[in-house]
Amino acid sequence: MPMDLEQFTDFADSFVNDEVPPALLRDLNLGIVVLPEEKGEGEFYIMGEYITEEVGNYVALYYGSFVKTLSGEPREVWEEDIKETIKHELQHHLEALAGDEKLARKETEEELESFQMHEESKNKRSSRVGYLSKPLNLLLRIFKKE
């Protein structure tokens, strides 16, 4: 059974408060925000992202993207994906604080590779579908839209 928005937010809050060391949240002054909408980029759903703005840094989780990609999945799958997404976005945060964004560069390379494979398959008119390979540590979850 899918989580509703309140259950989703409560679980994310509990995970951060109970399992994430406070040191990893340093300078994440706007916290972790759950947004009700889905977010897509081209053919893919974005589960979460690390955002830096003039007023501060935060992690956005897109509840609607989880709904689109995990519909029909048991609660345990939702919980694991929420945890993995938060961990992944915190990795972006820590890399940004350190001035080293290897994960972001790797994801960009993988997205380009996926796009190129998709374009090649369209040009060959094959039934093969382009895909986005799993990012480092399977943390950021981007799923193909249906």
Query: Does any domain span residue 30?
Result: yes
The structure's pTM equals 0.71
Query: Does any domain span residue 133?
Result: no
CATH assignment at residue 96: 3.30.2010.20
Question: Tens digits of per-residue pLDDT, 50-97?
Answer: 999 999 999 999 999 999 999 999 999 999 999 999 999 998 888 888
Query: Does any domain span residue 68?
Result: yes
Query: Does any domain span residue 124?
Result: no
Q: What is the 3-state secondary structure (H, E, C) of the chain?
A: CCCCHHHHHHHHHHHHHHHCCHHHHCCCCCCEEEECCCEEECCEEECEEEEEECCEEEEEEEHHHHHHHHCCCCHHHHHHHHHHHHHHHHHHHHHHHHCCCHHHHHHHHHHHHHHHHHHHHHHHCCCCCCCCCCCHHHCCCEEECC
Query: Does any domain span residue 79?
Result: yes
- Find the domain containing 45 and state its range: 5-100+138-144
Query: Does any domain span residue 55?
Result: yes
The count of structural domains within the chain is: 1
Question: Tens digits of per-residue pLDDT, 85-137?
Answer: 999 999 888 888 888 666 566 665 665 565 555 455 444 332 222 222 233 23
